[in-house]
Amino acid sequence: MFDDNRKIGIGLTLLGLAMTGLGVLLFFDRALLALGNLSFLCGLCFLLGFAKTGKFFFRKEKLKGTSLFFGGFCLIIYGWCILGLLVEMVGMWFLFSAFLPNVVASLKLTSIGWIFNLPGISHFANWVYDQRRLPL
pLDDT along the chain (136 residues), means of 10: 89 95 94 96 94 94 95 96 96 89 81 84 78 52
Identify the pLDDT of residue 134. 53
- Rounded Cα–Cα distance for residues 110 and 76 (Å): 36
DSSP state of 116: G
Identify the pLDDT of residue 136. 44
Identify the pLDDT of residue 131. 54
Contacts of 54-63 with CB under 8 Å at 24 or more apart are: 56/95, 57/95, 62/94, 62/95
Q: What is the identity of the amino acid at 113?
A: G
Q: Is 64 helix (H, G, I), strand (E, B) or coil?
A: helix
